[in-house]
């Protein structure tokens, strides 16, 4: 079959949705009829709603569903939340719910927003006298504020705006490289558009003023702006979430004493602090919880992932985002991480489910959402590591995965009920499920 022998197409984005699908189905799929059926199955029957989704991105052909689950009973700063989580991994919501219930009975989660500073930079090349550049930037600083006044007006009314514009000399790392390192407060908005608009104006102001700066030589006047863009590394947009309880309250199971459990938890965290191979997986488990809430609330999970992992390496080695200690017979477990989130703008009012999820969370401010998300990460890590240091994760994972295997094998309702019962007392493995289902069918 001559698949993928197709020629490049021009003007694809201008084709109708139907034509895009026809082209795709005939050029790139083995079964064009089935392709169209599957794609159409996932269209929303409400045409207006489908149009809304079509217009989120270019070249939309259908929707890719993710399950939206709820992890209830999260007691955060004395307030109970039911947290929406959008994720495909079968055990994540169950694990979050379990951790929420466990800590709900032990005082709940306590959280603090440490800071909310966002960052953006204008990167430029300047070939000349550094002292003159410093004097120049100081002289024109008011112009940056004046030129962005129209952009910052409504943000200022909400209590935000530009916090600082600092010249940074990075010429030791790269010849003639400097930047305007700018910090912002964007209140309940994630602020990407606001920050990038301000930065592009700073860049224009910088170029214009350099051209007119009498003491610059011709080369100095000709400073080159390379790019202006926000940074997703926001080490000062920081939140902390914590749980603690007397050690004797860590009575998880009969198999392990509370003291042994607390010690093993601390050991596991110590390992993730010193060993990057473990730290990556440890933090991946944290991100299971974080990303699921980020997705459910319409925030940018790629930005969060990038920033969080950079933060995990801030001391020069990739390390655990969570911490644990035993002190005065108390067990304390906490997370500190940067989260630049928004509860206004972006998808928050546009996507009906995102809007609903924010409503479920009590219309949180960005600061509140930072706290909820940090808690979801901490809870997820507690659930994962407590399983790892006791029973191992496979038992729970495979129990949750059982349904996926049964669905793959087109099991009926009755077969599913029978096998869920069977695997309550038997270890779930892919082969084991296949054999049990075949045996059931043969009977």
Angle at which helix 92-104 crosses helix 276-296, to 10 degrees, equals 90
Binding mask 376-405 for ligand MEV (x = CB under 6 A): --------xx--x----x------------
Report the residue number, 160 or 285, with the smaller CB distance to ligand MEV.
285
* Residue 367 designated active-site: no
CB of 320 to ligand MEV, least distance (A): 10
- The sign of the torsion formed by the CA atoms of 398, 401, 403, 409 equals negative
Closer residue to ligand MEV (CB): 284 or 332: 284
Size of the site for ligand MEV (CB under 6 A): 10
Nearer of residues 84 and 285 to ligand MEV, judged by Cβ:
285
The single residue among 34, 281, 313, 426 that binds ligand MEV, judged by CB under 6 A, is 281
E-assigned strand segments in 189-319: 224-231, 238-246
Least separation in angstroms between residue 313's CB and ligand MEV is 18
Task: Show the DSSP H helices in 148-245 as ranges.
Answer: 149-157, 192-212, 218-221
> Is position 284 annotated as part of the catalytic site?
yes
User: Of the candidates 84, 120, 285, 364, which one interacts with ligand MEV according to CB under 6 A?
Assistant: 285
Nearest distance in Å: CB 278, ligand MEV: 8
Dihedral sign, Cα of residue 231, residue 118, residue 382, residue 266: positive
What distances in angstroms separate CA 305 from CA 244, 310, 337, 366, 383, one per listed residue? 26, 9, 11, 17, 20
284 binds ligand MEV (CB under 6 A): yes
From the list 90, 101, 96, 204, the residue with the least C-alpha distance to 147 is: 204
Catalytic residue (one of 117, 147, 300, 368): 300
The verdict on 132 binding ligand MEV (CB under 6 A) reads no
Q: Residue 400 class from Cβ within 10 Å (0-12 exposed, 13-18 middle, 19+ buried)?
A: middle
Q: Pick from 186, 288, 343, 348: which binds ligand MEV (CB under 6 A)?
A: 288
- Report whether 312 contacts 321 (CB < 8 A): yes
Q: Which of 22, 27, 89, 305 is catalytic?
A: 89
Please identify the residue of the shown chain whose CB is closest to the bound ligand MEV.
Answer: 285
**Segment 86-105, which members bind ligand MEV (CB under 6 A)?**
89
Would you call 443 helix, strand, or coil by DSSP?
coil
300 is an active site residue: yes
Total residues found in the chain within this entry: 443
> Tokens 């925030």 — which residue?
299
Question: By the criterion CB under 6 A, which residues form the site for ligand MEV?
Answer: 89, 281-282, 284-285, 288, 384-385, 388, 393
């Amino acid at each position: 079959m001559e698949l993928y022998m197709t020629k490049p197409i021009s003007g694809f984005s201008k084709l109708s949705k139907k034509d895009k699908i026809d082209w795709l189905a005939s050029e790139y799929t083995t079964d064009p009829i089935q392709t169209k059926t599957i794609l159409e199955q996932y269209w929303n029957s409400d045409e207006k709603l489908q149009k809304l989704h079509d217009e989120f991105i270019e070249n939309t052909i259908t929707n890719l569903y993710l399950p939206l689950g709820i992890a209830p009973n999260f007691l955060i700063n004395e307030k109970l939340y039911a947290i929406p989580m959008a994720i495909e991994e079968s055990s994540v919501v169950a694990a979050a719910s379990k951790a929420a219930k466990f800590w709900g009975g032990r005082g709940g989660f306590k959280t603090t927003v440490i800071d909310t500073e966002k960052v953006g930079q204008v990167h430029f090349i300047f070939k000349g006298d550094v002292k003159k550049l410093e004097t120049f930037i100081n002289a024109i600083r008011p112009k940056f504020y004046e030129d962005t006044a129209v952009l910052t007006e409504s943000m200022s009314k909400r209590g935000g705006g530009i916090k600082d514009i600092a010249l940074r000399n990075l010429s030791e790392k790269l010849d003639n490289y400097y930047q305007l390192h700018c910090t912002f407060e964007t209140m309940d908005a994630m602020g990407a558009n606001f920050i990038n608009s301000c930065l592009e104006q700073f860049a224009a102001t910088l170029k214009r003023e350099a051209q007119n700066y009498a003491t610059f030589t011709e080369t100095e006047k000709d400073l080159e702006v390379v790019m202006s863009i926000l940074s997703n590394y926001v080490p000062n947009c920081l939140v902390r979430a914590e749980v603690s309880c007397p050690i004797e309250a860590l009575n998880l199971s009969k198999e392990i004493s509370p003291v042994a459990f607390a010690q093993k938890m601390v050991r596991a965290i110590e390992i993730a602090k010193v060993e990057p191979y473990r730290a990556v997986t440890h933090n991946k488990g944290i991100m299971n919880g974080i990303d699921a809430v980020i997705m459910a609330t319409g925030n940018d999970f790629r930005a969060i992932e990038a920033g969080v992992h950079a933060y995990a390496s801030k001391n020069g080695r990739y390390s655990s985002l969570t911490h644990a200690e035993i002190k005065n017979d108390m067990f304390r477990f906490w997370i500190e991480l940067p989260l630049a989130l928004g509860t206004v703008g972006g998808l928050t009012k546009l996507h009906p489910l995102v809007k609903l999820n924010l409503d479920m969370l009590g219309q949180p401010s960005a600061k509140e959402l930072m706290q909820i998300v940090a808690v979801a990460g901490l809870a997820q890590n507690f659930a994962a590591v407590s399983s790892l240091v006791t029973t191992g994760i496979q038992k729970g994972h495979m129990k949750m995965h059982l349904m996926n295997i049964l669905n793959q094998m087109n099991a009926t309702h009755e077969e599913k009920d029978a096998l869920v019962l069977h695997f309550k007392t038997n270890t779930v493995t892919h082969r084991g499920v296949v054999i049990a289902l075949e045996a059931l069918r043969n009977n």
